């Protein structure tokens, strides 16, 4: 029957987003919330298709996103979750709430896959190939598949155990409050905090961009790369910005975008990057991520608490197979 294109090919802008567009999008979402993406370009005047807006939000502007290098623990998690779930990046990302599926996918494709291939080559001769861990083996009998899945689960538990237990105060726990805290805060999800934090996210990057406007520094968050380049455009196109307040306040030199942002959305503390995660835990901008068991709300931090429960309940459930998805389903049942 032929699906019509998601957006008009004509008049739709493609390519990197400019700070102006980011601001427009964020301010719109702050006001209306994420969702109904179809309406976003129409209502904001952005010359972008709805998909592009959604992608920009979920992969870049959404609050609580951590960028930069992956930690060892994150790497382990990804490797084991990939073994368990296959290339279901969104599902994997739900266990790494600070990372987007796109990030994880990129990391896997550009780094981890190669790394594992090398390791595998080093272990050449040992029977199990990397792909052998995938649960999506088509020619596997159900019994085999289940046994393998259980092995995978055990491996993942082990990895998670390593990741979570040794110094619970390191990366993973410093990123999250206690699971009970998580659960209680998740239920509240104050809207205002959600969108204030989203503006914090973008303002932080804008501020960072203001610090290094002309050239892209490798040490800067990689996500700022395009801002570094488009940033020059922005300065040159000042006055064309739809947010006239920003240019109105400047005296002809640099526009203090972050300041403008502060005044626009009424928040502060750009420097509180350490608190990002805890703040982001309170956010659930998408709000619809519990649609199935494989998609626990990444922002709600539930997955980690589940995994912890899953891991630490192990001792109490010895001899009984604990299935993660069951746990998640149970938790969801309690959750709603």
Q: Given the rule CB under 7 A, which residues bind DNA?
A: 1, 3-4, 6, 13-17, 35-38, 48, 50-52, 54-56, 58-60, 67, 87-91, 101-103, 105-107, 109-111, 216-218, 222-223, 225-226, 228-229, 286, 288-289, 291-292, 295
User: Across-strand partners of 126?
Assistant: 124
Which CB atom, from 160 or from 202, has the smaller least distance to DNA?
202
Smallest distance from DNA to CB 212, Å: 11
- Kindly state the smallest distance separating residue 147's Cβ from DNA, in Å: 24
Are 28 and 48 spatial neighbours (Cβ–Cβ below 8 Å)? no
Contact indicator for 134, 149 with CB cutoff of 8 Å: no
Q: Among 134, 127, 144, 99, which Cα is nearest to 113's?
A: 134
Closer by beta carbon to DNA, 144 or else 222: 222
Is 13 strand, coil or helix? coil
Nearer to DNA by C-beta: 32 or 148? 32
Q: How far is the CB of 218 from DNA (least distance, A)?
A: 3
Of 93 and 307, nearer to DNA (C-beta) is 93
Query: CB of 151 within 8 A of CB of 321?
Result: no
Closest CB 204 distance from DNA, rounded Å: 14
Query: Which among 298, 313, 67, 330 is positioned nearest to 186, based on CA atoms?
Result: 298
Shorter beta-carbon distance to DNA: residue 114 or 168:
114
Nearer to DNA, 59 or 179 (CB): 59
Query: Which residues have C-beta within 8 Å of that of residue 136, sequence separation ≥ 6?
Result: 86
Identify the three-state secondary structure at position 321: coil
Q: By C-beta, is 41 or 262 nearer to DNA? A: 41
Instruction: Supply the minimum distance, in Å, between the C-beta of residue 148 and DNA.
Output: 19
- In angstroms, what is the minimal distance from the CB of 19 to DNA? 10
- Ordered alpha helix ranges (H), the chain: 19-32, 39-44, 50-56, 72-85, 89-93, 101-107, 113-122, 142-164, 171-174, 179-188, 191-211, 225-236, 244-249, 257-265, 276-280, 302-312, 324-335
Supply the minimum distance, in Å, between the C-beta of residue 292 and DNA. Answer: 7
């Amino acid at each position: 029957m032929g699906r019509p294109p998601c957006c008009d090919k004509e008049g739709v802008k493609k390519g990197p987003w400019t700070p102006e567009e980011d601001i427009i999008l964020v301010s719109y979402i702050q006001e209306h919330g994420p969702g109904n993406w179809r309406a976003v370009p129409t209502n904001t005047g952005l010359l972008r298709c709805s998909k592009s807006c959604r992608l920009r939000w979920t992969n870049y502007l959404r609050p609580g996103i951590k960028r930069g290098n992956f930690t060892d623990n994150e790497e382990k998690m990804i490797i084991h979750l990939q073994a368990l779930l296959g290339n279901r990046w969104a599902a994997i990302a739900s266990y790494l709430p600070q990372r987007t599926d796109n990030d994880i996918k990129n990391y896997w494709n550009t780094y981890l896959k190669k790394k594992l291939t090398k390791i595998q080559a080093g272990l050449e001769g040992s029977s199990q190939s990397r792909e052998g861990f995938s649960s999506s083996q088509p020619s596997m009998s159900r019994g085999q598949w289940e046994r393998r899945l259980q092995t995978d689960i055990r491996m993942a538990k082990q990895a998670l155990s390593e990741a979570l237990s040794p110094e619970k105060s390191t990366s993973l726990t410093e990123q999250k409050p206690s699971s009970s805290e998580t659960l209680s805060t998740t239920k509240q999800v104050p809207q205002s905090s959600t969108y204030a934090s989203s503006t914090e996210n973008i303002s932080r990057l804008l501020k960072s961009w203001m610090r290094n406007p002309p050239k892209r520094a490798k040490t800067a968050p990689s996500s700022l790369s395009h801002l570094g380049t488009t940033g020059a455009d922005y300065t040159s196109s000042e006055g064309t910005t739809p947010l006239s307040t920003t240019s109105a306040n400047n005296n002809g030199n640099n526009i203090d975008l972050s300041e403008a942002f502060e005044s626009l959305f009424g928040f502060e503390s750009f420097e509180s990057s350490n608190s990002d995660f805890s703040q982001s835990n309170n956010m659930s901008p998408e709000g619809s991520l519990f649609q199935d068991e494989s998609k626990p709300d990444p922002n709600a931090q539930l997955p980690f608490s589940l995994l912890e429960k899953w891991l630490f309940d192990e001792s109490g459930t010895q001899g009984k197979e604990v299935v993660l998805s069951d746990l998640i389903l149970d938790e969801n049942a309690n959750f709603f």
